[in-house]
Amino acid sequence: MLRDAINFLRAAIRFPIFLWAWIRAKPVSLEVASYRLRLCCDCEELELFTRQCRKCWCFVGLKVQWKAEKCPIGKWDRDDT
């Protein structure tokens, strides 16, 4: 419970930074983003209502598009190209 709250706060802090970085950074290709998103959509850690990952509380629709991101439980990685 406390860990979830901490992770949620971390995500709330990270989100504006993430959004800023996503706007500035070159996103991954559409194929890579689609591949990552497919894995997230099949993942038991996906919060369906908000489309957030329960492990890192990132919004997966954005997370999968950023080159520097990786899945916290190793389902996909930065090097997936």
Smallest distance, ligand SF4 to C-beta of residue 54, A: 7
Q: Closer CB to ligand SF4, residue 28 or residue 53?
A: 53
DSSP secondary structure, 9-26, as one string:
HHHHHHHHHHHHHHHHSP
Q: How far apart are CA 45 and CA 62, in angstroms?
A: 16
Q: Under the criterion CB under 6 A, does residue 11 sit at the interface with ligand SF4? A: no
Q: Which of residues 29-68 bind ligand SF4 (CB under 6 A)?
A: 39-40, 43, 45-46, 53, 55, 60
Cβ neighbours around 60 below 10 Å, total: 23
For ligand SF4, the binding residues (CB under 6 A) are: 39-40, 43, 45-46, 53, 55, 60, 71-73, 75
